[in-house]
Chain A
Amino acid sequence: QVQLVQSGAEVKKPGASVKVSCKASGYTFTSYYMHWVRQAPGQGLEWMGIINPSGGSTSYAQKFQGRVTMTRDTSTSTVYMELSSLRSEDTAVYYCARDGRALVDVWGQGTTVTVSS
Chain B
Amino acid sequence: EIVLTQSPGTLSLSPGERATLSCRASQSVSSSYLAWYQQKPGQAPRLLIYGASSRATGIPDRFSGSGSGTDFTLTISRLEPEDFAVYYCQQYGSSPGLTFGGGTKVEIK
Contact = CB atoms under 8 A, between A and B. Distances in A.
A108 B44 CA distance: 7
B44 A102 contact: no
Contacts of A45: 45, 88, 90, 100, 103
B96 to A, nearest CB: 5
A47 B98 contact: yes
Nearest to A6: B44
Interface in B42-62: 44-47, 50-51, 56
Interface string A32-50: 0001010000001111011
A70 B45 CA distance: 21
Contacts, number: 56
A29 interface: no
A105 B48 CA distance: 9
Contacts of B101: 44
B47 A104 contact: yes
A50 B102 CA distance: 21
Contacts of A46: 100
Contacts of A59: 97
A44 B98 contact: no
A50 B32 CA distance: 19
B33 A47 contact: no
B100 A47 contact: yes
A44 B47 contact: no
B92 A103 contact: yes
A11 interface: no
Contact of B98 (A35, A105, A107, A109): A35
B68 interface: no
Interface in B61-109: 88, 90, 92, 96-103
Contacts of A95: 44-45
8 contacts: A45-B88, A45-B103, A47-B100, A62-B96, A95-B44, A97-B45, A104-B47, A104-B98
Closest A-B pairs by Cβ, 6 of them: A107-B44, A47-B98, A103-B50, A45-B100, A102-B92, A50-B97
